[in-house]
Amino acid sequence: MAAWSSPPSLRHLLLLRPRLPLSPTCLAGSFSRRHIHSRCRLFSSAASSSTLTHGDAASTHGDADGVVDVNPPRGTRDFPPEDMRLRTWLFDQFREVSRLMAFEEVDFPVLESEALFIRKAGEEITQQLYNFEDKGGRRVVLRPEITPSLARLVIKQGKSVSLPLKWFTIGQCWRYERMTRGRRREHYQWNMDIFGVPKVRAEAELLHAIVLLFQRLGITSSDVGIRVSSRKVLQAVLTMYSIPEHLFTEVCVIVDKLGKMTREEIEKELISTGLSSEAVHGIIDVLSLKSLSKLEEVLGSGVEAVADLKKLFSFAEQYGYADWICFDASVVRGLAYYTGIVFEAFDREGKLRAICGGGRYDRLLSTFGSEDIPACGFGFGDAVIVELLKEKGLLPDMSRQIDDIVFPLDEELEGAASSIASSLRKKGRSVDLVEDKRLKWVFKHAERINASRLILVGNSEWERGMVRVKILSTREEFEVKAGELE
């Protein structure tokens, strides 16, 4: 990091107004009046003697003037304390639901082998990778999703683990894509996955977890719904029209755009794959169905997709979340590895993109050269749910909260204050030890951080082994023996 030779006053000004485009000429003070930008005048007196040390231009990532852009890269986020408190709270909700569902937590590197994510052609995600060659000549990628990493770990663990596996993780994902509300180029994602359960009981459990989370956040079934379908529906339709198996993945990717593109545009893309007009119209007609009974009329009751869906909706009644889910044949999900039940949660007002989504992927492991294990899971991002909570006025109060402030009234009592702070921290209390401030500032600081108590260490009290305690919510004030503070 480059060293600054400018006086503190200038440095503080730069920190306060980091985006002002100050040129090296302006900072050095060797400028003429006709070249001064109006914003540069703010710093002219303080900057007159300042210079940038040698190498600053090479060590910064900023504009041509050498000024660092303090904003994070486009599409990414900083997490200052107030945002970090919200993120921690949300992640705690993810973890608590996972605990209630008896899932174990796992984690993986955010940097993965590129081969994990480029095995399926046609997926939109393959065009959004942050991929590059590392210094060892290996092709790597910042993971765009978590499921392939999970599959890799399952393969690596092999027979050392017994099935079924119920794992969850909370990890960061990266996609270079167009940004909209609730969509960034990086996000954190809660994944829950079950390996080794071939029946739709696994999907029913996952949907229960999602509903549990919504309920814990104060969201109701009138706010959010979960659309459910099956990839086997589309497979049955393709079979009806004798469409070759190798076109299945490509058709899935195209029809996943239903609702995002016009019907005419979807039909044009499907015809370009070589499908007949009759088949295209048949596919879109079936995928427009919103009734499971209507689907059964079209495909017949003996079709596996219908049987799976009817069983899932029966489970939903038994779990008590039937009012949260609805059948929608257009849900196919854009990832090629899904093989059965698929689902996605949506806000009923239609203001946001999908809140979460997932499904069954029984044949993913074989694409990595391993024996397949039946599996299903979902990904639940952090961005859209926060937007929804804002929309519904359900965000909790994320104000900072501290148990105690310890403040020595004299310099010679700093050691005593340190001892008191240490003792309280060992007892599990959060303590802010404040020194070299006026008492008026300390009271304002206590209010800012919502401190419960102010503990004053004064000479007269300390000589008697006492400290003065002020309960800030009630303004009650009393003395207590320093060794008896709790």
Q: Give, in order, the Cα–Cα distances in Å from 363 to each of 126, 290, 371.
A: 19, 27, 9
The answer to whether residue 30 scores a pLDDT higher than 60 is: no
Which letter does DSSP use for residue 3 in this model?
P
Residue (of 430, 476, 420) closest to 450 by Cα position: 430
Residue 400 is assigned to a ligand binding site: no
Residue 125 is assigned to a ligand binding site: no
pLDDT digits (tens, 9 = 90+) for 156-182: 998 899 999 999 999 999 888 777 776
- Structure confidence at residue 94 (pLDDT): 98
Beta carbons within 10 angstroms of residue 135's beta carbon: 5
With a pLDDT cut of 90, the percent of the chain lying above it is 59
Pick from 114-128, 241-255, 315-329 the range whose average pLDDT is largest. 315-329
The pTM assigned to this predicted structure is 0.80
Sequence-distant (6+) residues with CB within 8 A of 379 are: 145, 146, 147, 189, 190, 191, 356, 357, 358
Output the average pLDDT for the chain. 85
Distance of CA 265 to the CA centre of its chain: 32
- Structure confidence at residue 439 (pLDDT): 93
Residue (of 41, 58, 75) closest to 2 by Cα position: 58
Three-state DSSP class for 119?
A: coil
Which backbone phi and psi does 386 adopt, to 5 degrees?
-65, -40
111-113/130-133 β-pairing: unpaired
| Greatest C-alpha distance within the chain | 95
- Residues 190-211: what's their mean pLDDT? 97
- Provide the token pair at 403: 């148990």
Sequence-distant (6+) residues with CB within 8 A of 270 are: 251, 254, 255, 279, 280, 283, 284
The answer to whether residue 121 scores a pLDDT higher than 70 is: no
The answer to whether residue 130 scores a pLDDT higher than 80 is: yes
pLDDT digits (tens, 9 = 90+) for 397-440: 989 999 999 999 999 999 999 999 999 999 999 999 999 999 99
Residue 146 is assigned to a ligand binding site: yes
Residue limits of CATH 3.30.930.10 in the chain = 81-392
47, with CB counted inside 10 A (0-12, 13-18, 19+), is: buried
Fold of 402-481: Rossmann fold (3.40.50)
Residue 147 is assigned to a ligand binding site: yes
The answer to whether residue 208 scores a pLDDT higher than 90 is: yes
Q: Return the minimum-mean-pLDDT range out of 254-258, 343-347, 368-372.
A: 254-258
Sequence-distant (6+) residues with CB within 8 A of 403 are: 424, 429, 430, 431, 451, 452, 453
Residue 175 is assigned to a ligand binding site: yes
Q: What is the CATH number of domain 81-392?
A: 3.30.930.10
Q: How confident is the model at residue 251 (pLDDT cuts 50, 70, 90)?
A: confident
Residue limits of CATH 3.40.50.800 in the chain = 402-481
- Structure confidence at residue 182 (pLDDT): 62
Residue 193 is assigned to a ligand binding site: yes
Q: What's the rounded Cα separation, in Å, for the pair 28 and 299?
A: 77
- Structure confidence at residue 122 (pLDDT): 46
- Identity at 22, one-letter amino acid code: L
- Identity at 342, one-letter amino acid code: V
Q: What's the rounded Cα separation, in Å, for the pair 202 and 163?
A: 13
The answer to whether residue 59 scores a pLDDT higher than 60 is: no
Q: What's the rounded Cα separation, in Å, for the pair 448 and 324?
A: 41
Three-state DSSP class for 373?
A: coil
- Residues 80-103: what's their mean pLDDT? 96
Helix axes 263-272, 248-255, angle to 10 degrees: 160
Burial string for 448-471 (b: 16+ CB within 10 Å, else e) reads eeebebbbbbbeebbeeebbbbbe
